[in-house]
Amino acid sequence: MAFNFGAPSGTSGTAAATAAPAGGFGGFGTTSTTAGSAFSFSAPTNTGTTALGGLFSQPTQAPTQSNQLINTASALSAPTLLGDERDAILAKWNQLQAFWGTGKGYFNNNIPPVEFTQENPFCRFKAVGYSCMPSNKDEDGLVVLVFNKKETEIRSQQQQLVESLHKVLGGNQTLTVNVEGTKTLPDDQTEVVIYVVERSPNGTSRRVPATTLYAHFEQANIKTQLQQLGVTLSMTRTELSPAQIKQLLQNPPAGVDPIIWEQAKVDNPDSEKLIPVPMVGFKELLRRLKVQDQMTKQHQTRLDIISEDISELQKNQTTSVAKIAQYKRKLMDLSHRTLQVLIKQEIQRKSGYAIQADEEQLRVQLDTIQGELNAPTQFKGRLNELMSQIRMQNHFGAVRSEERYYIDADLLREIKQHLKQQQEGLSHLISIIKDDLEDIKLVEHGLNEPIHIRGGVFS
């Protein structure tokens, strides 16, 4: 039996359908099937009005009798129960009960009292909200079963649930019960969405329409069996036809002021996806509040999961970026090694051959470019000067911001090289000056010698 909760089932569809349930789960496996409950979808009976789903279904209202209106008006305005001034007090009490939506309005000794419910037009505790319209087709066969059990209990007894539902369907071997999904509801209830697949003798299969399956579940004996399984509500999950939507919008629900209903239709934020629904009494308001709180928790859980996924993706991205940078460096290194291999291979291939004319021309061009780049007043010198200025400015800015002196290693080497060249130039200049001084001293010494000595030397 197919029952997909996210965990694979070890039994086949037929075996699971025919196996005896293991009991437990508040009556699962103990439901008895009566004779004549065989389930066939070949010719579904027309059940007339089916549930439109959840909040969209409205109870059928009996035609309002004129005497009921007269009795209500008499109870609220002119009761004649006591025949004195106390009838005025009774009228106010009846009005209070009508506003509250509960109680009985006594107004005449010979006529039964009026029952005040929250659907009466005078009840003040009413509002209009909006609900999403389902988008599934009737052919999808989705039917919602609300269990008065926790979701963990439903999941732990999933096989017994499938088998019990299959028995409710008459144990027909051509039918397979499948679970579309589950959702936690307030007050420890669980929503289970199911669909049934019917297999024909020729091997084809189809989903049983949702309205047909729902009509079967609404039969008196079948409904009793579902209640024994813990089902409190069943409804179809199918989209509303344009005619149904038009009928719902044109006819205000029981006890809702037509003016308020018209204003709710005007204020609908998305008439394509939302439909106004009445909220009568505090119980309905509390129920919607619990459902909204439950959905908020589910959304927050989903957001937490998405946030964790994003964090994991960010970590993976950081790792990937680092690996990409590593692979780029490795690729660059391999490219250089490949280029060296190609150069050596080309040298060996050209070994013993004279330099060709195009190679000589290329060598001359390369020498010319190299010479221009190495010229002190050309590109290289200017680039070095600009780089030195930029680095000096950067380091001066860093010194101002950090209030400490620091020189880059490359800049320090350049400064040392420059100072070394200046020192070598000065040393060379000093050496020349010393030689010149020695020559000058020799000249002075020669000029200061006695003339007779010089004469004797030249005689």
Query: What pLDDT, on a 0 to 100 scale, did the predictor assign at position 406?
Result: 62
| Strand (E) or helix (H) holding 105 | strand 104-105
User: Up-side HSE of residue 397: CA atoms within 13 Å toward CB?
Assistant: 6
User: What percent of the chain is modeled with pLDDT above 90?
Assistant: 22
User: Up-side HSE of residue 277: CA atoms within 13 Å toward CB?
Assistant: 19
| Strand (E) or helix (H) holding 71 | helix 66-77
pTM of the model: 0.50
pLDDT at 13 exceeding the cut of 60: no
Q: What is the four-CA torsion angle of 307, 313, 316, 317, rounded to 10 degrees?
A: -120
Query: Which of 14-18, 62-66, 366-370, 379-383 has maximum average pLDDT?
Result: 366-370
pLDDT at 377 exceeding the cut of 80: no
Backbone angles phi, psi at 364, to 5 degrees: -65, -40
Q: With contact defined as beta carbons under 8 Å apart, do 271 and 248 qualify? A: no
Tokens matching residue 341: 């291999």
| Integer angstrom CA distances of residue 23 from 31, 32, 157 | 10, 12, 9
Rounded to the nearest angstrom, the gap between the alpha carbon of residue 124 and the centroid of all alpha carbons in its chain is 40
pLDDT tens by residue, 158-179: 888 888 998 888 888 889 999 9
Q: Which of 23-27, 69-73, 122-126, 245-249 has the lowest mean pLDDT?
A: 23-27
Q: With contact defined as beta carbons under 8 Å apart, do 229 and 29 qualify? A: no
Give the mean pLDDT of the chain: 79
Q: How does residue 22 score in pLDDT terms, banded at 50, 70 and 90?
A: very low
Which residues in 127-156 are b (16+ Cβ under 10 Å) and which e?
ebebbebbebebebbbbbbbbbbebebbee
Helix-strand-coil percent breakdown of the chain, rounded to 5?
A: 55, 10, 35
Q: How does residue 283 score in pLDDT terms, banded at 50, 70 and 90?
A: confident
Which residues in 342-365 are b (16+ Cβ under 10 Å) and which e?
eeeeeeeeeeeeeeeeeeeeeeee
pLDDT tens by residue, 415-448: 888 888 888 888 888 888 888 888 888 888 777 7
Query: What distance in Å separates the CA atoms of residue 279 and residue 357, rounded to the nearest whole number?
Result: 97
Residue 451, amino acid: I
Query: What pLDDT, on a 0 to 100 scale, did the predictor assign at position 281?
Result: 82
Question: How many Cβ atoms sit within 10 Å of the Cβ of residue 87?
Answer: 14
Q: With contact defined as beta carbons under 8 Å apart, do 197 and 207 qualify? A: yes
Q: Which of 56-65, 220-229, 334-343, 386-395 has the lowest mean pLDDT?
A: 56-65
Query: What pLDDT, on a 0 to 100 scale, did the predictor assign at position 450?
Result: 59
Of residues 90 and 34, which shows the higher confidence score? Answer: 90
What sign does the CA torsion over 10, 12, 13, 14 have?
negative
Q: How does residue 298 score in pLDDT terms, banded at 50, 70 and 90?
A: confident
